[in-house]
Amino acid sequence: MSAQQLLDVKGLKVHFTIAAKSAWPWSKPSILKAVDGVDITLYEGETLGVVGESGCGKSTFARAIIGLVQATEGEVVWLGQDVTKMREVARRDTRKSMQMIFQDPLASLNPRMTVGDIIAEPLQTFYPQLSKQEVRDEVKAMMDKVGLLPNVINRYPHEFSGGQCQRIGIARALILKPKMIICDEPVSALDVSIQAQVVNLLKSLQKELGLSLIFIAHDLSVVKHISDRVLVMYLGNAVEMGTSQALFAKPMHPYTQALMSAVPIPDPQLERNKRIQMLEGELPSPMNPPSGCVFRTRCIKATPECAQQKPQLQGTSEHQVACWQVALS
């Protein structure tokens, strides 16, 4: 890929220490492996979709990249510099070029601040030398860019719909002119029609501003529509990655195949006749994940050798899968 590489994440792990519930003081704490060694790269102007069921570590992975959660191990290399090894002052400067849009649009906005103050806050933090009029002009220009009328600048978040609140969150993320935005399920709390508007807005802003996006979602149809490449996560691990076209045309990992089979088909006849691949069993606890392949306890193709060693992503730059059975076939 000829575009500039912005982000290179290598072996990222996020483990949380959970205190033992036992009354005995010598009881050992448990380790919750929210993210357990994930690698990605992100290029200028690219969208990387991240999918997986609830609890698979998508949001924790995203928050570790941007610095809201401390990484236990691994590297987050942003424009050639490892962010995890930076001092706080230096890391603060990188935050101007890495921003985030959150899942719940209303909960992510301060209810005591007006829309204008919410969008202006990043500017006032990073560019205190700007005058009030300069800040206000920047805010109005950004509101217009995301489809908000300038005359609502003095209103409060509770006066807006969910879709409008998400536009406010997008404006706040864009006001510093970042190179990358992490979208943590930005449309999951919105109506279907509003979802399409927000996704199309993100795509048009990406094209206009040259943004790179990490787009986290449950809805595979949305991910297919917006993503150039897709990462599939299960229990804190990367199980499949590839271009959107290759992965949706031929999913190789049994977990990805199960996710794809659950996507509704617009044709009623095909929808009635399709075979849904149900996942057996319960999602294992990240405090006690299975040995070897973490998906083996729910996999229809699992063999005894799957319990011996954890598979790594293998394949070409177009399509990679972490599965012993696929690798051997």
Tell me the DSSP string of 103-167.
SSTTTTS-TTS-HHHHHHHHHHHH-TTS-HHHHHHHHHHHHHHTT--GGGTT--GGGS-HHHHHH
| Nearest-angstrom CA–CA distance, 118 and 23 | 46
Which residue blocks in 146-252 are alpha helix, DSSP H?
162-174, 192-209, 220-226, 244-249
Q: What is the pLDDT of residue 1?
A: 47
Q: What is the pLDDT of residue 192?
A: 82
Q: Is the Cβ–Cβ distance between 250 and 318 less than 8 Å? A: no
Residue-by-residue pLDDT tens, the chain, 329 positions = 467 899 999 999 999 998 877 666 777 888 999 999 999 999 999 999 999 988 899 999 999 999 899 999 999 999 999 998 888 888 888 888 999 999 888 888 999 999 999 999 999 999 999 999 999 999 999 999 999 998 999 999 999 998 999 999 999 999 999 999 999 999 887 888 888 899 999 999 999 999 999 999 988 888 998 999 999 999 999 999 999 999 999 999 999 998 888 776 666 776 566 677 777 778 888 888 999 999 999 988 888 889 999 999 999 889 999 998 885 44
Give residue limits of the domains in the chain. 5-19+26-97+178-251
Q: Is the Cβ–Cβ distance between 60 and 14 less than 8 Å? A: yes
Going from the C-alpha of 207 to that of each of 7, 157, 202, 227, the distances in angstroms are 19, 28, 9, 13
| Nearest-angstrom CA–CA distance, 19 and 229 | 38
Give the chain's radius of gyration (CA, Å): 21
pTM of the full structure: 0.90
| Nearest-angstrom CA–CA distance, 240 and 226 | 18
Tokens of 273: 């006749």
Tokens of 293: 């392949």
CATH architecture of the region 5-19+26-97+178-251: 3-Layer(aba) Sandwich (3.40)
Q: Is the Cβ–Cβ distance between 325 and 301 less than 8 Å? A: yes
